A = this chain, B = another copy of it.
Amino acid sequence: MSSTKTAETHPAYELLYWPGIPGRGEFIRLAFEAAGVSYKDVANESEDAITSLLSPSSTTPPIFAPPALLVPGAGKHNTPLLLYQTPSILSYIGPKLNLAGADETEKAWILSHTLTALDLNNEAHDTHHPIAVGAYYEEQKEEALKKARDFRENRIPKFLGFFERVLKGNEVEGQSSYLVGEMLSYADTTLWHVLAGLEFAFPKEIASRKKDYPLLFGNFYASVKETKGIAGYLASGRRKPFSMGVFRHYPELDRH
C-alpha cells in the first residue's frame, strides 16, 4: 500500500495520554508519525479531555493506565474500540501502518523486540522510582542511587549488547538500520526512543559506552531519526522534550 492510500482509508485514531511529556504515549505517536498516518493527540491538543476518559468506571472494559487508543467504529457492532497497554496498541496498529514486517515471523519478532525495548524503558524509569511509583524521587533517593548504579553497570550493557546482536544478525537484510527484515517497524521506532531517553537521562554513561555498540549508535540511531516520517515529526516541533517523565536527568544517577 502506498502511504497516500493508507492515509485515506484510516479511521480517525485518537491517542489518549497525559499532556506535555513524551512518556509512554510517545511510542504510539512515533508509529503514526513514521507511517505518515494522521491521529488526534487528544491531551496535547485540547485540555481536560483525558481525565474523564481515564476515570476507573467510564469504559467497558476499563483501562488500567494510559496510553490508550480510541479507534472509531472498530469495536463490536461498530462501536469505538478503546485499547490500552503500549505493546497491545502497537501490535494492533502495526500491521495497519505497515510497520509490522513482511510476514508472520517478522511480525512476531517485532513484537518480541518491542517488548524488550519497553522493558528497558521501564527499568530506566525504576532508577528514579525504585521503591514506590506514588512517592517523590527525593523520598527514595538513597535507593535510587543504588538502583541506578546497577542499571548503568549491568542492565544497560545487557540490553544494548542484545540489540547490537539483533542488528548484527539482520545485517544483510536490515543494513544496520532495521532490527527485523528490510523495512522500518515499530520495534525500530520504539528502541530509537528508548535510546534517545537513555542519552537524555544518562549522558555520561551513554557517551562512554557508545563505542561498544557500533551498529546501534554508529548506524541505527541516526538512521531511524532520518527516516522521512520521523525527520518530519522532529522538524515539526510537535515532539515534546524529555523532562520529568519516564526519563529524567538527575546528574547524581549518571556515571560520575
Contact = CB atoms under 8 A, between A and B. Distances in A.
A105 B81 contact: yes
A25 interface: no
Interface string A176-196: 000110000000000000000
A83 interface: yes
A91 B105 contact: no
Q: Specify which of A88, A103, A104, A155 lies most central, judged by the most chain B CB atoms within 10 Å of its CB.
A: A88
A9 interface: no
A92 interface: yes
Contact of A169 (B60, B76, B83): B60
Given A76-B105, A91-B91, A115 B85 contact: yes
Contacts of A85: 111-112, 115-116
A166 B109 CA distance: 29
Q: Specify which of A105, A154, A170 lies most central, judged by the most chain B CB atoms within 10 Å of its CB.
A: A105
A87 interface: yes
Nearest to A84: B112
Contact of A131 (B88, B134, B150): B150
Contacts of A133: 150, 155
A79 B87 CA distance: 27
A140 B142 CA distance: 12
Contacts of A251: none
Interface in A132-175: 132-135, 140, 143, 146-147, 150, 154-155, 159, 161-162, 165-166, 169-170
Given A61-B179, A126-B126, 6 more contacts: A56-B165, A61-B109, A74-B105, A85-B111, A131-B146, A143-B143
